[in-house]
Each structure stands twice: as structure tokens, then as C-alpha cells.
Amino acid sequence: MLLEYHQVDAFTDRPFSGNPAMVYRLDGWLSDELMQRIAAEHNLSETAFVVREAQGWHIRWFTPSSEVPLCGHATLASAFVLFEKYGETSDTLEFVSKSGALSVTRENGRLLMDFPAMPPTQMGVTVDIERALNTEVVDVLASAELLVVLESEQAVRDCKPDFAAIACLPWPGVIVTAKGDAERYDFVSRYFAPAIGIPEDPVTGSTHCCLIPYWSARLNKFSLTAYQSSARGGELFCRLEGDRVKIGGSATLVASGVLTLG
């Protein structure tokens, strides 16, 4: 069996930055075990598999160790591959996923994802969270992930977490965030998820489902520009639209190949 794959750097307009994802467009589903083994073989934060079905493109995402219910950068990468490598002519692609209906639209030279908004609720600062992050914490909220607000953009950049301690917290991952120090970005963030095999994700679309409503309320703005300040880094162009968020960015193809299964 020969399976064609494409590696895409998402949320960037140049190679070797943003967040890399592997994309497979399949004619039919492989077994869950085989898709998990393929994701482990590539050893990227996410490998996406897409299959054309009656309702649209069905998409699933796998880290090297587990399937996840939602992934932004690999959805962006999948749409890019379907548009650029497989000739999809519509300006909007509809996806079916474990998190419901998603879509990606070509808009002003970028790809714009339509995801559910996940406003966080207040949790309160705890000693365990501060110790896990090795930094002073301003506020703690939670949605699908733990959202931790730090004092400044520099504090986010300087954060050196204890990954073993983070993996013991009762959330899939931890987002740290702060208001941007300069006019270019409204807010910055980083994302740590060692419990699902990702010590730090370079750029994470799905975390912005709760970051966008949080910062929209804090800054009284509906359109925001964000930066995920990992080592690779990536820009995200965000809008809050009721109970949905729009998350936009660029993508760059860096490799294509064929996986050979004996």
C-alpha cells in the first residue's frame, strides 16, 4: 500500500517556522491503530487524515501518542493541501470532526478557520499551577484547556515549565498568555501539553477558541492579532463572531512523499 503525504508549516508564510503538520488525503479510513502508528512514525505534534464523505471532508487528528478532538494548525494544513495539491475549487471547505462542523475559507490571501468559541471560566490561582509553571501567575481560568494569565509578554517568553508537573494537572494542556507589549500583537501565548505527547506546541489554533473570547472581552475588541511565541513562532489573525471564532493564517508546503506499507 502506498499513501501520499504532505508536510505543511501552518501559521507562517515561510518554511521552518510556524507549526508543522502531516496531511494524508485518504480514499477510505485506515484502522485507528494504523493511523496512530503512522502519526507516531512522523513524530510531529499532529498528523491529519481526511476522507471525502457525503457531508464534506471528515477530518481526524493524531498526536504521536493519541487522537485528539480538535486541532487548528493541522486543519489549516489540510485545507491548504486540498486547495493547493488536490485542486479543490470552492473557496470554502466544510469539515466534519469530533468537535462538530468546521470550515476553512480562502480570504484575502489567508486561510480562515471557523471554530466554536470556548469562553473560559474563572478558576483561581493555586500553588500547584504556579509551581508547575515556575513563574508568578496573575489569573487562572479554564475551558477545554487550562488558561493561565501572566504579567507580561516577556513573562510568557521566559516561562520554563516543569513538564512532569504539568502532565499531572487535570487538563490536556496549559496555555500561558499575556497582553502584547507592542502595537503589532494584541496578545501572545504558548501551549504546553506533555500529557498528550507535546511538551510545547509551536503554534496552536485550537487554544485560540478560548483565547479569542477571553482577550476580546479584556481588550473590548472583536478583531485581534495574536502571536504564539514558541521557538518557531507563528501569527494568527482572529475574530470573535458570536459563539464562533475565526482563526486565520498562512501555510507553506515543505515536503511531499509516499509512505510505503508492506
State the first-to-last Cα distance of the chain, in angstroms, to the nearest integer: 6
Q: Give the pLDDT confidence of 103-122 residue by residue, as tens digits.
A: 999 988 899 999 999 999 99
**Cα–Cα distance for residue pair 205/2, rounded to 1 Å:** 30
Going by DSSP bridges, is the β-strand pair 19-26/46-53 parallel, antiparallel, or unpaired?
Answer: parallel
Average pLDDT of the chain, as a whole number: 95
By annotation, the residues acting in catalysis are: 46
Q: Give the pLDDT confidence of 155-177 residue by residue, as tens digits.
A: 999 999 999 999 999 999 999 99
Question: Are 221 and 145 within 8 A, CB to CB?
Answer: no
| pLDDT > 80? residue 262 | no
Q: Give the pLDDT confidence of 174-187 residue by residue, as tens digits.
A: 999 999 987 889 99
Which pLDDT does position 55 carry in this prediction? 83
| pLDDT > 80? residue 144 | yes
- Full-model pTM: 0.87
What percent of the chain is predicted at pLDDT more than 70? 100
Which pLDDT does position 196 carry in this prediction? 83
Element (H, E) at 72: helix 72-84
Element (H, E) at 2: strand 2-10
